[in-house]
Amino acid sequence: MDRLLSAGHNVDVLDSFQTGNRKNLPNGPGGIRRLIEQDVAEPFSGKYRGIFHLACPASPAHYQASPIKTFQTAVWGTHQVLENARMSGARVVIASTSEIYGNPHEHPQTEAYFGNVNPIGLRSCYDEGKRGGETLAMDYARVHGVDARIVRIFNTYGPRMLFNDGRVVSNFCHQGLIGKPLTVYGKGEQTRSFCFVSDMVEGLIRAMEVPVFESPVNLGNPDEYTVLELAKMVLEVLDANLEIRFLPLPSDDPVRRKPDISKARRLLSWEPLIPVQEGILKTIQEFRTRLANHGA
């Protein structure tokens, strides 16, 4: 949103604020044109040139809290966005997820990999919901000619994340700042890739702007870290000597996660620029400021 506004675009925001925060909306001159406060799974009006469809709880803590609602958002919400695009002629960038790969048997994950997903597990509302959203997008493209562009987003982090987001970077940064043990699930040997938010925004903008797109496209940082390595990095940035507490591994938690971004490099001339340690520092600085302002 900030990037679009700074470039002079008129921006409408649709948000139910299930996990969003109104404080992130700019006020006054140069702010958004219209706030549509509703569920994305309900029909909405408006004629647009481009739509970024990012709506859906994305952390296990949030999407498992209301699994039926999560599935409806991922599938019915995508349907409403595609219907608007069909009627208005808008181009759509649809935020899918690396979770469609499940617990992968292929490493790193390319867009050609069909995944290894449990369709009836605790994470299925999100994983299968996003897979269903991709199906709808491709069928709208084939049947109705909608310019629907699927990006599969890998772990992304940065300022403005909720403290109780439930994802590993926000967990570690918040726990470290308030002096609590860092909670690591399993032995911390599972791997993830961490992309700073400004790099991800750049990838999303390019996905919208390029003349030719080939869905789907992975967006993420190909640098791979174990969760335990990340915990130690956060403690190093904080210069803190805190306990790392190990808890049981959740069900269906992917063992390895790393994107192959060859396609993004070719189509979008895109790759992440912010090293993980630098991004962690930026995130901690913003978290610290918010905590100082009454824990806002």
Measured over all CA atoms, what is the biggest interatomic distance in the chain, rounded to whole angstroms? Answer: 58
Among residues 63, 126, 140, 157, the one annotated as catalytic is 126
Q: Is residue 140 annotated as part of the catalytic site, yes or no?
A: no
250/21 Cα distance (integer angstroms): 28
Nearest to 206 by CA among 136, 142, 273: 273
What is the gyration radius of the CA atoms in the chain, in angstroms? 19
* Helical (H) or strand (E) element with 229: helix 227-238
Nearest to 29 by CA among 46, 55, 3, 8: 8
Overall residue count recorded for the chain in this entry? 296
Q: What are phi and psi of 179, to 5 degrees?
A: 75, 25
Nearest to 149 by CA among 159, 138, 158: 138
- For CA atoms 214, 224, 64, 120, the dihedral sign is positive
Q: Are 158 and 202 in contact (CB under 8 A)?
A: no
The two tokens of residue 136 are 């709808």
Place of tokens 């369709």: 119
The two tokens of residue 227 are 């969760």
57/173 Cα distance (integer angstroms): 20
Q: Which residues are catalytic?
A: 126
